[in-house]
Every structure is written in C-alpha cells, then in structure tokens.
Chain A
Amino acid sequence: MFGLKASPQEAEAPPELDGDLIRLANVSRVYETKTTETVALDDVSFSVKPGEFVALMGPSGSGKSTLMNILGCLDTPTSGTYRLDGVDVSSLPEDDLADIRVYRIGFVFQSFNLLPRVTVLGNVNLPMAYAGIPVREREERAVAALDAVGLEEARYDHKSNELSGGQMQRVAIARALVNDPAIVLADEPTGNLDTKTGELILATFGRLQQQGRTILLITHEASVAAHANRIVHIRDGRIVDGQEVSA
C-alpha cells in the first residue's frame, strides 16, 4: 500500500538528482463553486520514470481524469508541485503550458476528438501548424506518423468523419505522435472501440513504448491495464495502490 507515494524528502530533492520524468508531490485539486467545494485530487504524490507504460485505473469520479489533465498540463494543481523532467510546471503561465503540450505531450482521447469535415492529413497536420513546423516538412512527418499507427495510405485524404472508430483512433494517435513527444497520455483510448480493434490500438501503444516513449493510459478495464508495466489505482482522489506488472 502507498508504495509509490513519495516521501516529502524525495519530493524536495533537487531536479538534477531526480531520474523521474514525471513527479507529482502532494498534489491536490479542489473545484470550487459558490456553494460547494469538491476535492477531486487529495494529496497525490506519484512519479513516472522515462519509458514506463503506466495504467491509471479507478471508478468514474475517482479523479483519474483530473490527474490526467494535470499531467497533460491542461489544468494546474490547487496545491502541491508537478515537475516535468525536473521543471516545476505547476504554476507556469498558460502560453508556456501550451508550448509543453505542443512539443512534449501527445493526447489521445476516448472520443477521438478529430476535427470533423477535415481530412486525415489535415488533422495530423494541426499540431505541426501550432508548433510552427515548415509546410514542406509536414507531409513527410504526417505520413511517417500515420504509417507508424498502421493506417493505409488510401485513407489519407478521407474526411475524418468518413472513417471507422478504429481508423479515427489511429489518426488521433498519429496526431499525438507527429511532434515526437516524450509522453503520450491516453484517456480511455479503447473505450469506444470493439475488443478486437481495441487490441490493435493497445498493440500500437506497446510499439510506442518500445520506441522509448513514456505512456500513461486511463482505463477501467483490467484487460486493457494488463498491457502496462505498472497499474496505479485511484479512489476518491487518492492513490490507493500501485503494483508492478511483469511485462
């Protein structure tokens, strides 16, 4: 129990001595409305080493999505620190967080979140446009990313809403990979897919890990979590368990 919870001494260790890619120390996230106060994350400490494949499991409302949003720099903690590669990002201005999202993190969503009525290549090009990649380099990189997720070339000029769920998720993963991020965050990536397609997507994540990327994946299916090196259980905003899974 609580085997992964970092002690305060560890959390305050200087960054250069810290081999973790992701390090959360005593992170809390409280949502306030006029009348109520909801504690979504309660004093979470947690770290991920480069190259790990971690599954976050928990029932709905447990705070796993809040944790994912903080890890993905979409949200900032109410208290505590988040060090990404040694740099405290918990209180960075919004545009600096945007730069982290564009270069270092790739997001994959349960509902794919592709731009409808935009072609496959158009969707994959989008993060490169925000990263300021020159237009002439984009096609080559987009094709490489789509090739890596196994989408056939005949589909490249299809509108995203003309694709099947499995194809859309491949495009979404290609979009997450195209700026070559160190970390891939996936929020129930197989939740809207049938088991067989889900297996293919998970196999893709397995290949990404072999290329040296760090992967964090949210799921509530044990069979999905079984692909990870480590499973972290969350309940009521707290990490209740972290176990190593033999690969």
Chain B
Amino acid sequence: MNFRDLLAETFSSLSQNKARSGLTILGIVVGIASVILMVSIGQGSQQSIQSSIESAGANLLMVMPGRSGAAGAARGGMGSAESLTKDDAEAIGDLEGVKTVATEQSGNYQVVAGSLNTSTRVVGTVPQEEQVKSIQMESGSFLDERALKRWAKVAVLGPTTRDDLFGENASAVGKEVRINGLTFHVVGVMASKGGTGFGSSDDLIYVPLSTSELYLSGNDYLTLVNVQAEDADVMSTAQQSISDLLLSRHKIDDANNADFSVMSQQDILSTVSTVTGTFTILLASIAGISLVVGGIGIMNMMLTTVTERTREIGLRKAIGARRSDISQQFLAESIALTLTGGVIGILLGWLLSLAVTQFAGYTTEVSTQSVVLAFAVCTAIGLVFGYYPARRAAGLSPMEALRYQ
C-alpha cells in the first residue's frame, strides 16, 4: 500500500466511528493541552523573574547578612542576621571599582489606606537607591536627603501596591497610608518594572532608612546593601574585594564562616533558574500523567477495533495484505488519533495560556520548543500505544480471522 492509500484507509476507518474516535482524541487533547499550559506557566514565570532581576539595576552586587553556602546557593536565615552595619556600607563605598552604595532595611508590614489594606514589604532606604536600582517614577518624586535627615514619614509606593491600596492607576501622591499604625505621606509612585507573579519588584513601599530604623524596626542593622560597580568588567573583582573587606572588618579568617554573602545578578539568576526549572518540570510531569492516561485510551480503542475488525483483517490478508500492510494500517490510525489530538491540544493549551495571562495575570510563554516537543510526544504515544494492537492484528492467522464471528 502506498502512503495515499494508507491515508485514505485511515481517514475512512476513523470516520466510521466518530464518537469513539472523538472521545479517544479528547483524552490526548486534554493531556497535550495541560502539558502546553503548565509548561507555558512555568516558562512564563521564569521569564518574568529573570526580567525583574535584570531590571533591578545595572552592574549590581548585593551584600546580605547571614551565612551563605560555598556554592553561593541561598540558605535559610540570609538577610535576617544582624551583622551588617552602616559603617560596613560606608567602607564598601570607599572601595575601588564601587560607584554607588544604597543601603536597605526591610520588613513586612500591614499597610492601610482608607478601607483598603494589604500586606507588603516596606523597605527603608537612601536616595541613592533610585540610581542603583534604576527606578523610574510614574508620579511624584523619590525619597530625598532632607526626608532622611528629618526622619520624615513619607513613602514611595510600587505600582502594584498603589493599585491594591487606592485602586487601579488611581492618583496616590499627596494621600496618606498607615504603616504599622503610623501615618505616612505618599510622595511618589514608581513606574512598573514589568514582571508579574512572584519576584515582582512592583509590590513594595520605600520609606527613608532613618524613619524605618526609628519607627518600624527599632534597630539600625541593614538587611541589604546594594552596590553598583563602575562597569561590568570590575564586577568580579569588586565582589572579591567586598568579601575580603567585610571578612577583615568582621574579624573572620575562614571565608566559609562568613556572616554575610555577596551575590551578583548572575548568581541570583542561576539560583532562581534552577528553582523555576524544577517548578516547570514538576508542573509538566503532573500534566504528563494525563497524557499517559490518554495514551492508554488510544491503546484501549485500538484493541477494541482490532477485535471488532477481525473478519476484515482476515479478508484483507486473504486478498493479499502482508503483515506489514496490516500493522501499518493500525499504527497509522493510532498516530492519526494522537496527532489530531496533539494539534487540537496545542491550540487549546495556547488559548488557555492566553486566558490565564488575561484573567489571572500570570505571564505565560508558549515556546516553539514545547510545541515541537508536544508533536514528538504525540507521535511517540501513537507509536508506543498503537504498536501492541497493530502487532496483534498483523499476527492474526488469516484463516482463523475469517472464521471469527
């Protein structure tokens, strides 16, 4: 049989039992659509985290208090230890290759505005933060030196926080918010940096560092020092000299016992990529289970078909079909089922991921890679789950098959 004959045969036999073919295809559609959707959510969140890390600022190094593993992976307690002071930050600022230093002290607080409230990260910082983190203002202005010197209770809101407290795109400058029971005047709203879901840098409030120390935390330890290097070439030497400086200032001999960690964007990116990669694989494998169930549906249908069409198989053999003609016919049917399911599933998964972006606000990304993979998986499922029924059909004795009732 040539390819055209095979196609015609496949089409005619699948269309003879439309309901059954349709339901079997549905199994594959659900499997493929969920794989496409899950992978798109995983890859979308990976992208949004990466872009928010990249948009955090150019040539940025972050110094955090707390121990860090030798491999640079995040460890529990990082950022919470009380080991980093403003003197440390000043000393870092004097190092060669360091352009600007911006200190931070942050904590999570309940924030209220009128009848609306939200729980968000409140960051006490200095005016240099605006430059170091490449912050763009949507309205109003960033914190200034005067506010810092006067322990002013002023706040700069992230756009997401503004939306939560005052309503979408409402004007907030000049209004009041209550943080930890204290009234703060909103002096500015930042422009969105993009990136949604977790890892967003749009959901936070900046207040002056001095105000944070006095009214919110009650101490003067830093939770983060952002260091902007002069250019990309000095990043690694700056990272090393910051590390050496702090080790000597904290009188620690062994770098493995350091009570701080210095990370570059690259370090953070690779850590986060590992996490989100695992997350994507986890989501995809859960969806993959439904694909396997769909494949079993294919096999079930094909076995039923082989039994029902035993006489037909006998007849085909009697008029000259070889074993390979019969097995090709049944394999073609199962591949046709899975590929049809695959195409519909890819379209459905893509539509669903658009819907998720539209209604749930997650960034999703349907990559060519996942579409190609879905096609490959479909064909493989058709082959694997169609193989046994096809072999069974081809192995029937023509004489016994013809006598089958």
Contacts and interface: CB of A to CB of B under 8 A. Distances in A.
Contacts of B318: 72, 74, 101, 107, 113
A69 to B, nearest CB: 5
Contacts of A129: 1-2, 5
A94 B323 contact: yes
Given A115-B312, A117-B12, A179 B320 contact: yes
Interface stretch (A52-60, A83-91, A130-138, A232-240): A130-138
Interface in B294-353: 311-312, 315-325
A244 interface: no
A47 to B, nearest CB: 22
A101 B316 CA distance: 10
Contacts of A95: 322-324
Interface in A97-114: 98-99, 101-103, 107, 109, 113
Contact of B402 (A74, A98, A115, A179): A74
Contacts of A75: 397-399
Contacts of A98: 317, 320-323, 325
A208 interface: no
Nearest to B403: A65
A74 B317 contact: yes
A127 interface: yes
B146 interface: no
Interface of A: 69, 72, 74-75, 94-95, 98-99, 101-103, 107, 109, 113, 115, 117-118, 126-127, 129-132, 135, 175-176, 179
A102 B318 CA distance: 8
A134 to B, nearest CB: 9
Interface of B: 1-2, 4-5, 12, 16, 311-312, 315-325, 397-399, 402
A99 B399 contact: no
A126 B319 contact: yes
Nearest to A133: B2
Contacts of A99: 320, 322
B17 to A, nearest CB: 11
Contacts of B324: 95
A101 B12 contact: no
Nearest to B398: A74
Nearest to A112: B315
A101 B311 CA distance: 17
Nearest to A101: B320
A99 B320 CA distance: 6
B330 to A, nearest CB: 15
Nearest to B317: A98
Nearest to A127: B319
A126 B313 CA distance: 13
Contacts of A132: 1-2
30 contacts: A74-B317, A74-B398, A75-B398, A75-B399, A95-B322, A98-B317, A101-B317, A101-B319, A102-B319, A102-B320, A102-B321, A103-B320, A107-B318, A107-B319, A109-B315, A109-B402, A113-B311, A113-B315, A115-B312, A117-B16, A126-B316, A127-B320, A129-B5, A130-B1, A130-B316, A130-B320, A130-B321, A130-B322, A132-B2, A176-B319
A144 B376 CA distance: 45
Given A102-B321, A127-B320, 8 more contacts: A74-B399, A75-B397, A75-B398, A98-B317, A101-B320, A113-B315, A130-B319, A132-B1
B89 to A, nearest CB: 82
Contacts of A175: 319
A74 B318 CA distance: 7
A115 B4 CA distance: 18
B247 to A, nearest CB: 78
A72 B318 CA distance: 8
